[in-house]
Chain A
Amino acid sequence: MISEKLLAVIKKELNLNNDFELKPEMTASQVPGWDSLNHINIIVSIEKEYGIKFKGLEILKAKNIGDLQALVNSKFPA
């Protein structure tokens, strides 16, 4: 499940319509406007919004939106 907060960050950075459906298995190439420059903007915004810091390797390993959510979750142990 992708959290509302993460969806909002991504949609804001990509200027996506609120109705646009983002699914966990979607990769950058399947989302309009998600190029390498916006990828960086999204990552920096997530870090800012959640007050967390990713490692370079963690970001490189994230292949889709689901991975990105899992990465955010890993920074907040239950």
Chain B
Amino acid sequence: MPYPIDWTKFRELFEYVPHDPLLFGSSMFIFFFIAVLAVYRFFNGSNSFRVYTLIFFSLFFYYKAAGIYLLLLVFIAIINFYAGAWIFNAKTQRYKRLILTATIIVNLGLLGYFKYTNFFFEILNGLKVGHFDMLDIFLPIGISFYTFKAMSYLIEIYFEMLEPINSLRNFSLFVFFFPNVLMGPIDRAVNFLPQIEEKPVFTKEKIGLAVFLLCTGLFKKYVLADYISLNFTDRVVGFPLRFTGVENLLAVYGSALQGYADFSGYTDMALAIGLLLGFELMDNFNRPFKAYSVAEYWRRWHLSLSTWLLDYLFRPLQISLRNYRKLGTAIAIFITFFVVGIWHGPSFTFILFGLLHSFFLVFSMYTQPYRDEFYDKLKIRNTKWLRVLQIIFTFHLLAFTAILFRAPSLKYAGDMIKQIFTYFHSEVFTQYVVAYPSIVFLIVIGYVSHFLPDSWEKKTVDILGKTPLVFQAIILAVMIWLVAQVRSAQMQPFLYFKF
């Protein structure tokens, strides 16, 4: 008897199912993507067909993640497209600024409504200014990413770095583009839009890079991040008081690595998928734990967000406050990092995260001349071992503030730190290593590979580029097999989906 087809299940493949988006790396995604890629490459000659294929699939991809809120994505694209042209055609600077401000208010108003309404009510209730019942608001996945992406178009036109385009179709593809719509990179209009009209060129180097990024992405996300979080950090972060200080400290190191592996793993896959479609997206990471200062870290971590805020918020603020010199810069840093914190979500842990980072940066700015003088006196300025110490120190600042990213509330973050400083029990370390060798092994592998020389990565990509297609496919298949072996029963959602 033939096996009956479950048509409900089949229909579900094409329908929005809450909390079940098409995750990169899932078999469903791979199936759909190969189909899209085949159609896409087959009709390589027709630009129009390629663009519509991508728009159609991107809309489907977003619908699978957010259902009816697909309309919000479309609305964001339309309003920013027309506002861009209005700004460009406005006769006076004042009028340009007015349209820019109004459109930014619409963008941020929507973002604010979906993301922060209940948080705002919570604060008002706490302040006892009245009682507000929490609303049942759905958070459209990726909204923080695609509103920022669309706003870059407006701001670049206002800054006269970009002229508006005539094609709503092309602009829609920029906003909808499925590899970066849910979790970035927050690509810039000025980089992305010209690529749409160019015929994609698939060089060996690009394919090699795509294969490399797919492998690193799959490994970082499904081997490192998911395994460490499910089997270790989630448990400690959820109940820090049940564990000794040693375990809490290991969880701090594990969480920092997991956060990076999760987000940069996603980004690697997004970049690879972009490359296979002929698009070069903006990179988001450059080995952030190699940073020797917090300022340097922000030039290596979530670059598409940090440069967005640097160019469109920090610099304009700094320039308008220029007569206050250092103090003006300090205020600009403070405001920018408050935004960094709140951008991540409606929670005091994120706000505190942003404020701590602004404190580190301002402190560093004011003490720089004295520190340099001190290093000169000891004759250790610019020496290798000072750099190493600075990297270790910076890493610990980052790892400890990253607790705020993982902890459910400030209390949990405080408990973790309390355990580390008051209930350390160093003897537990060896027991832990013996009991959980796979977790320790993965954490060590994660950090060691992070600190390998950058040139090794380049060499690997070069070799992969020169490898015949068959072997590239085998390498990729081996990686997928490895992921399947290690992967937990159910795929874990990406951490940055909630932002």
- Spell out A's residues near B (CB within 8 Å): 36-37, 40-41, 43-44, 56-57, 59-61
B329 and A56 contacting across the interface, CB-CB below 8 Å: no
B107: CB under 8 A from chain A?
A: no
B319 and A60 contacting across the interface, CB-CB below 8 Å: yes
Contact of A36 among B93, B323, B329 (CB under 8 A): B329
- Give 4 nearest A-B pairs by CB, closest first: A40-B322, A56-B319, A59-B319, A56-B320
Q: How far is the CB of A63 from chain B (nearest CB, A)?
A: 10
A36 and B315 contacting across the interface, CB-CB below 8 Å: yes
Majority secondary structure, B binding face: helix
Q: How far is the CB of A62 from chain B (nearest CB, A)?
A: 11
Known: A36-B315, A60-B316; 13 extra A-B contacts, CB below 8 A, are A36-B318, A36-B329, A37-B326, A37-B329, A40-B318, A40-B319, A40-B329, A43-B322, A44-B325, A56-B320, A57-B159, A59-B319, A60-B159
B328: CB under 8 A from chain A?
A: yes
- Spell out B's residues near A (CB within 8 Å): 93, 159-161, 314-316, 318-320, 322-323, 325-326, 328-329, 365
A60 to B156, CA, bound (A): 11
Q: List 5 interface pairs A-B (beta carbons < 8 Å), by A numbering.
A: A36-B318, A40-B322, A44-B323, A56-B319, A60-B319
Known: A60-B159, A61-B160. A40 touches B325 (CB 8 A): yes
Majority secondary structure, A binding face: helix
Q: Given the complex, which residues of A lie within 8 Å of B323, measured CB to CB?
A: 44
Q: How far is the CB of A45 from chain B (nearest CB, A)?
A: 10
Q: How far is the CB of B52 from chain A (nearest CB, A)?
A: 36
B328 and A40 contacting across the interface, CB-CB below 8 Å: yes
Q: Given the complex, which residues of A lie within 8 Å of B314, measured CB to CB?
A: 36
A56 and B325 contacting across the interface, CB-CB below 8 Å: no
Q: How far is the CB of B343 from chain A (nearest CB, A)?
A: 20
B159 and A43 contacting across the interface, CB-CB below 8 Å: no
A43 and B319 contacting across the interface, CB-CB below 8 Å: yes
Please name the residue on chain A nearest to B160 by beta carbon.
A61
A14 to B440, CA, bound (A): 48
A59 to B314, CA, bound (A): 13
A6 to B319, CA, bound (A): 19
Please name the residue on chain A nearest to B329 by beta carbon.
A37
